[in-house]
Amino acid sequence: MQKIFDKNTRKLLLSRWEDFVVSFITKWCAGNKVSIAIATDEYFDMNLDCIREGQEGDTPLCLWIAPEDAHLLENARMTIVPKWNGETVIYTSNQVSKRCWCGSSFAVEWRENVTNKHEESNQEKIKKLSGKIASLKGNFIKRWTTPERVIYLSQELLTDNNRIFTLNTEQKLIIIDDFGETDATISISGIGSLEYYFLLIESTSQKRLIKSLDDHQHITTHLFVNESHQDIPTPKKNHELVIEVHGSHTQVVSKSLTLSSNPVLTRVLSGIRILSGHSHEATLTQRSILLSDHAAIAQIPLLDVHTNDTKASHSANIVSITPEETFYMMSRGISDEDAKNMKIVSLIREVIDHKYLTQADIQGLLIKHQSNH
């Protein structure tokens, strides 16, 4: 056995399971990022090796890893640390050649040279499967220790187009939806609270309709659209997230943030429709950030209220990051690029800030912004 994790990280992992799949995911800001996922039966046809982790007297952890990457665990240390969007894995090793400012992304030179671009590697398969397993078993993690139930949506959960989830007063339901490949209607029944995260990272046009069917529901939605990598023209995109209220005594909060450097228009509609019932409260907020001079965003805040007994408000603004906003940080030795990133992250936090986003593939939230000014 070999020691890889610190005491607190081992304790955290043991509270979840004893077998994990470790993968080195490529195409992050500095090149690679470590992913640690619960090992399930679906992984075991991938020809992975088990590395036993721990010291004498410890409960051993089995780390399943692709054979070509096994040596990356030699003399390596990994620590799971909390971040604003959940958790991240900090990997340290003498094989790291450079590291991104975000702390969790790094480069290993030899790995850049041996990757076969024409053949799907085990790591790419693991990444895809990790998303699928997290989607089907997302509420497995921390299910014993939290009053919240987490579900990661996938194609399997959206196949019937009108998926029904039931709330209860014992647990808040967290739905993380980064499956940007199909439109869908999601119905919410029961009494309780829902937080819904809709994450669109360079996605095709997507629509979600959230139907609140019963009384005494508290629904908060977080829509994040990231077109910050698209500095070349792409087809026009239309994204929509609408909450439709059918009960009474419903509280709805809708937040959205759009980043874009895309010269082709990105249209984002965030809406709340209150069709019946009484004693409702609705708040809708839209923000957009233009990351280049030629970026184009159209944001549409929709409040469609059909009842009199409703308190509703909305706000919307489109801004760019000005030199004045980054001047102070640059005067303290921070580069212009990092200053812009810090500003973007602070704005993202206002819309997306939840500890259970670790399994969602939100690649690009912290990626370095290449200025097009």
- Count Cβ atoms within 10 A of the Cβ of residue 205 and give its class: 0-12 exposed, 13-18 middle, 19 or more buried: middle
Host domain of residue 71: 7-123
pLDDT at residue 288 tops 50? yes
Q: Are 85 and 222 within one domain? A: no
Question: What is the CATH number for 36?
Answer: 2.60.300.12
Task: State mean pLDDT over 302-313.
Answer: 93
Q: Are 117 and 261 within one domain? A: no
Q: Are 184 and 62 within one domain? A: no
Tokens, residue 159: 């196949």
Interval 141-176: pLDDT, tens = 333 334 677 777 765 556 555 678 888 877 788 888
Determine the 3-state secondary structure of 188 from DSSP.
strand
Q: Are 115 and 187 within one domain? A: no
Answer whether residue 365 is part of any domain.
no
| Whole-number CA gyration radius for the chain | 22
Answer whether residue 66 is part of any domain.
yes
Answer whether residue 136 is part of any domain.
no
Distance CA 114, CA 124 (A): 14
pLDDT at residue 355 tops 60? no
Distance CA 259, CA 321 (A): 11
Distance CA 186, CA 365 (A): 25
Structural domain count of the chain: 2
Which own/partner pairs from 125-132 qualify as long-range (CB within 8 Å, at least 24 positions apart)?
A: 125/46, 126/21, 126/23, 126/35, 126/37, 126/43, 126/46, 126/66, 127/23, 127/25, 127/35, 127/361, 129/42, 129/43, 130/21, 130/23, 130/35, 130/37, 130/359, 131/359, 131/361, 132/42, 132/156
Q: Are 170 and 42 within one domain? A: no
Q: Are 281 and 208 within one domain? A: yes
Q: Are 101 and 154 within one domain? A: no
Among 176, 179, 244, smallest CA distance to 209 is for 244
Task: State mean pLDDT over 6-12.
Answer: 86
Interval 187-238: pLDDT, tens = 999 898 999 988 887 778 889 999 999 999 999 999 988 887 655 556 788 9
Alpha carbon 71 to chain centroid distance? Answer: 29
Q: Are 166 and 258 within one domain? A: yes
User: What pLDDT does 160 receive?
Assistant: 55
**pTM metric for this prediction:** 0.58
Positive or negative torsion for Cα 63, 68, 70, 72:
negative
Distance CA 333, CA 175 (A): 40
Confidence bin at 119 (pLDDT 50/70/90): very low
Interval 318-354: pLDDT, tens = 888 888 878 877 888 888 877 877 777 777 777 776 5
Answer whether residue 96 is part of any domain.
yes
